[in-house]
Amino acid sequence: MLLSAVLEALAPQPGDVVMDCTLGRAGHAVELLRVIGAEGQLIGLDLDPANIEPARERLSPIGPNFALHLLNFAGASSLLQREGLLADGLLADLGMSSMQVDEAERGFSLLRDGPLDMRMDPTRGQSAADLLATLPATALAEAFRDFGDEPEAEGIAAAIVARRSVHRLTRTTELTELVQEAAPVRIEHGPGQATPRQQRLRPATRVFQALRILVNREMANLEHLLRTLPECLQPGGRAAIISFHSGEDRRVKQSFREGLRSGVYSAISDEPIRAGEAERRINPRSRSAKLRCAIRS
């Protein structure tokens, strides 16, 4: 995702210490390790245990100078302090990977039937089914509104609470069907639009996104990363954060601007960097991606 833009933003050099806070299957990390060379050091973090060994297999042929940790990116600063290191470059690619979406048993996709799990680390924390069974309607509506930008948040939350009084929601298809009943997909008539079309993001898509963010405490973890980010970087060190949700991008933008005003950062990107048309054709998910950068003073 935005690989060329990430490399340009981080400007890695041979011998650099670089941290990839969202390792995934090492798509970014492979190229970063190539650039920093044998004298550099790559530190990779990921919350999903399923990503660690595949990433190691991709990185090992390039060189041994990397360390992988099963760790949320909120722990980046603490890890670097324990290791006595500061990063020359730090990357966080927020959200979930296409591999996670494709695995029905993870429960991330509304298009594939599976258990309502949605945990990045399936060994800890409450699942989406647990939260849907216990949270009051007000808390569910707040999550759907704040993390999903869903205008029908209250009605959907009320429908969930009514349904769980009859039986527990445990499958992705159950939730998808319930949301579709509570908030039918709208037909939009845009200005100058000859043919009406369905709304771009369906309510079920927004609800699944909000639940995933809630289950994994993604906003709280992002806020912690942003607070401690200056502690992670060398003077002149660079950070690049890719977000996919308006709430994520808003938090990154505000943090970087506050850091620039206070002198913590010497420069930040004025506007987010977006994927070009060629990348959007190959990877439709990149249409939502926004990359913002900052340089430590």
The string of DSSP codes covering 213-277 is HHHTTHHHHHHHHHHHHHHHEEEEEEEEEEE-SHHHHHHHHHHHHHHHHHTSEEEE-SS-B---H
185 residue type, one letter: V
120 residue type, one letter: M
Digit-coded pLDDT (tens) for 169-184? 999 999 999 999 999 9
CATH 1.10.150.170-classified regions of the chain: 121-215
As a whole number of angstroms, the distance between CA 226 and CA 220 comes to: 10
As a whole number of angstroms, the distance between CA 25 and CA 276 comes to: 22
**Where is 90: in which H helix or E strand?**
strand 87-93
Task: Write down the pLDDT at residue 197.
Answer: 54
- Write phi, then psi, for 36 (nearest 5 degrees): -75, -20
Task: Write down the pLDDT at residue 190.
Answer: 59
Mean pLDDT to the nearest integer, 280-289: 84
Task: Write down the pLDDT at residue 193.
Answer: 57
User: Which has the minimum average pLDDT: 168-172, 193-197, 199-203, 263-267?
Assistant: 193-197
Check: CATH 1.10.150.170 for 121-215? yes
pLDDT greater than 90 at residue 280: no
As a whole number of angstroms, the distance between CA 253 and CA 117 comes to: 30
pLDDT greater than 60 at residue 194: no
CATH 3.40.50.150-classified regions of the chain: 3-99+219-296
Task: Write down the pLDDT at residue 1.
Answer: 77
Q: β-strand 187-188 against 87-93: which pairing, if any?
A: unpaired
Give the homologous superfamily in CATH for domain 3-99+219-296. Vaccinia Virus protein VP39 (3.40.50.150)
Digit-coded pLDDT (tens) for 125-146? 999 999 999 999 999 999 999 9
Mean pLDDT to the nearest integer, 258-275: 96
Read off the pLDDT band of 111 (50, 70, 90). confident
> For the CA atoms of 108, 110, 114, 118, what is the dihedral angle to 10 degrees?
20
